Structure 1
């Protein structure tokens, strides 16, 4: 293809986008090529002639209609979609819409100031054979982010912020009058966009928070929190509500629960765990069988529906674990104190109690209770594994029997077709300043499997109980965590991929 033909094609593409934008901004517009050239300020004769060609092609592709000789209007029907933008690091994007089965490609030049996650209205271009659907952003309905985190680069006359998020392919221009006095080159900061029009190459922003020097651990951790809009402090009202909760459990509440405070109970967690939300109990029954209890902290006793703590937890959704800190879902008074199953403290729990046959370890019976427990001991995983390996140590006999039972459960689970996704968890050993000193590879051992199997077993029985309940009570509902059936097209693609290595799917 000659340079002239390439240049002409590029000019026509630009004209097409401008004409579409013109019709989008004035949906009732009916105009001929001269009127369109005037509105686009095109005076060059050759370019005006190209407008005629572009209009004819657009009419042929059903983007516009010829309402009278040489006069056109936009075909509005079925040309617009609403969806969310997913940016790619290369600068282009896709729009995901519930009203359209396929992602719609949006070229960088057609984003028109849209950013990753924005809810937008797009103009759907005619589908070309062999190409994916393509569209042009015509309106930003709602911005997904109110602030952007990045590194400040200073020049003599202005500054700009280079975003940490690679899905934001624009540097943010910061005018001198929007720079705080304490700002320095290579500092991390949070900005908000204050101006950005389609005619502007880069957005204009102002700094709302200076985080510190790039590379400093505290700065980088706060940058992560800002980037993902994670609230790392609680409001005064939330703290006050948490602090009002009495640490003493009322006798009338204890009377409602099954009392397991005199049954051997302990927790097994990572060595650096701060909150202990599950525990197990063990005892031999008079009939010779073994009872193992799985106890989960009863947070609902302290966090009542629709109170300020419940609303705060709803907004946060989960606790977030970073390399050197935890951003809890609930204030520390609850997460690390009242609802943490710490040793030698009375705690309220939900419990599933399993009775195992002492010979072949099959489940003879099970019960669900609200309980009160008192943990006797806090273990960490490596400690339990060492006791099992050396066959001696605190509670060896009990741990040995629980391990034998959970290994039997595990074997049956895999015999029944369960899949094992083995993965190595990585942890970092940090110094006081948060700089990494070493990488620790955590491998799953029998101590991990002991807890894993009991938690899976409890979840299975709880889900089964509610499934039976739902069948009897049609208006009830329960949240299940499930894995959907595999996509057949992806399975076929995967089968073709592994075939080259000598494998096949049954």
Structure 2
């Protein structure tokens, strides 16, 4: 390094050998290995045309790598710069999501293959899900993730009674290098690939998602009870006489928003959007808040939900279920004939949902009033029919205002997965978005703008 610093430029291996008086084949081989090691450790840069030079620290960056299923990867290191491309050969011992140090191409030629992986700074994969395989006396894992192309050996000293052909979850006990494979130890046998619901089980483990709850989290949720305490209603605006209703998908289990609409004598509209007041039960930094921040959201699979909060809350006290009192944050808006929100007020309130409707039911009442579904709703909930019509009439006022302000309509095709008795996908059918879907979306936008 002193030699290269003194020369202030590139030197070939031959010139370095001459400068260091290394003439024997043995010495030159030792020099070759040493230079390769220094290059690998990020001490030297190598150019096949110019030779070796001291590392230019300004070209060294670090970031998280995203690996493509074909083996190559991109390193994100700056919000303002393009990601750096790394070839499959550079990263055959790296996992998707690892934080790595990269030497950017010094040429500025844009040849992306010049970027060089220096070292792995942080490992972010600790477990691998895959199918256990056997070859002779050795076991290995075929990862479920297409982003893992490494060979994965299995420590056969702790097999958890797993059999070849089964899906397992395994801890990484030795990370791969250029000289050795990944070594894992089985910690859980998931079952056979054809077992009912196995796709969901694998997805949960692949992404490190937690489905259950600790005793502390469960007890904390249970302590909230199953009904709203009378003392919790004190000091809140009482909206229980208003015909709030929830409108959601047929398979929805929790209802976090409810709506109510009436036409004022002035010709303006009163729109109220109620959102379940989760913050009353989940306080900052308590055990449920910490876990909810980790989960970030509820996760929906076909026929299965992993909630962000225990079911006691997510499907109970924090769900605006029909015919029960619930605490909510209520946005009370006045909307003029041009579809503009001219006033709004937020309050902590108590509501009593008068009905749980599906999108299809609400749409039938709004636009297919002579259909059997509309008549069934009218027979079971006659008091809400006028309010559904009010909601739809207001929606028709909001649409021209939406177009006038140039709002973009992301109306993409959604598919529904239909499962058979073994929880395997039997078919897929398109979800038909009707006026009820769009109506609720518009009302949520109004509340957000307010």
**The TM-score by the shorter chain falls in which range?**
0.7 to 0.9
Where do 1:5-24 residues align within 5 Å? Answer: none
The equivalent position to 2:353 in structure 1, one of 354, 357, 375, is 375
Q: Say if 1:338 and 1:130 are closer, same or farther in 2 by CA, change over 3 A.
A: closer
Q: Could you report, residue by residue, the CA deviation over 1:136-163 in whole angstroms, capped at 9, with x for unpaired residues?
A: 3222211111101112222221121111
2:362 counterpart SS class = helix
Q: 2:343 aligns with which of 365, 385, 389?
A: 365
Contact persistence 1:87–1:93 (CA under 8 A): yes
Q: Secondary structure at the match of 1:352?
A: strand
Match of 1:89 in 2: 69
TM-score (norm 2): 0.83
| Aligned partners of 1:268 and 1:451 also within 8 Å | yes
**CA gap 1:80/1:178 in 2 versus in 1, 3 angstroms:** farther
1:102 touches 1:133 (CA, 8 Å); kept in 2?
no
User: What's the CA shift for 1:100?
Assistant: 8.1
Structure 2 counterpart of 1:37, from 12, 29, 52:
29
Distance of 1:281 and 1:205 partners within structure 2? 56
For residues 57 and 353 of structure 1, do their structure 2 counterparts lie closer, same or farther at Cα, with a shift above 3 Å needed?
closer
Separation in 2 of the partners of 1:56 and 1:315?
A: 41
Q: 1:11 — aligned with what?
A: none
For 1:385 and 1:111, locate their aligned partners in 2 and report how far apart those are by CA, in whole Å: 53
* Structure 2 CA distance for aligned equivalents of residues 419 and 374 of structure 1: 34
Tell me what 1:257 maps to: 236
The superposition leaves residues 282-302 of structure 1 with CA deviations (integer Å, 9 ceiling, x where unpaired) of 345566654221100010000
Distance 1:221 1:157 in 2: 31
SS at match of 1:177: coil
* Whole-angstrom distance in 2 between the partners of 1:413 and 1:320: 30
Counterpart secondary structure, 2:408: coil
8 Å CA contact 1:81–1:99 kept in 2: the answer is no
- Alignment partner, residue 334 of structure 1: 313
Q: Name the counterpart of 2:286.
A: 307
1:416–1:32 Cα change, 3 Å: farther
Which of the pair has the greater relative contact order for Cα pairs under 8 Å at 6+ separation?
2
TM-aligned CA distance change 1:377 to 1:40, over 3 Å: same
Distance 1:429 1:145 in 2: 33
Find the aligned partners of 2:328 and 2:424 in 1 and give their Cα distance: 38
Unaligned runs of 5+ in 2: 1-12, 14-19, 35-43, 379-383
Relative distance call for 1:33 and 1:175 in structure 2 (3 A) is farther
In 1, are the aligned partners of 2:323 and 2:354 still within 8 Å (CA)?
yes
Could you tell me which runs of 5 or more consecutive residues in structure 1 were left unpaired when the two chains were aligned. 1-18, 20-29, 43-54, 65-73, 462-506
Distance 1:267 1:308 in 2: 29
Alignment partner, residue 165 of structure 1: 145
Q: Distance in 2 between matches of 1:139 and 1:343?
A: 57
The alpha carbon displacement at 1:115 in A equals 1.4
Task: Give the one of 309, 328, 331 matched to 1:349.
Answer: 328
How many positions carry a matched residue from both structures? 411
Match of 2:270 among 257, 266, 291: 291
**What secondary structure is seen at the aligned counterpart in 1 of 2:447?**
helix
Q: How far did 1:446 drift?
A: 0.6
Q: Return the TM-score normalized by structure 1.
A: 0.75
**Structure 1 residue 389 and structure 2 residue 367: aligned?**
yes
Aligned-residue Cα RMSD (Å) equals 2.8
Deviations 1:186-210 (A, max 9, x none): 2111122222453435322221211
1:408 aligns with 2:383: no
Once residues 62 and 98 of structure 1 are traced to their aligned partners in structure 2, the CA distance between those partners, rounded to angstroms, is: 29
Shift of 1:450: 1.4
**In structure 1, what is the Cα distance between the partners aligned to 2:145 and 2:132?**
14
* Distance of 1:439 and 1:77 partners within structure 2: 53
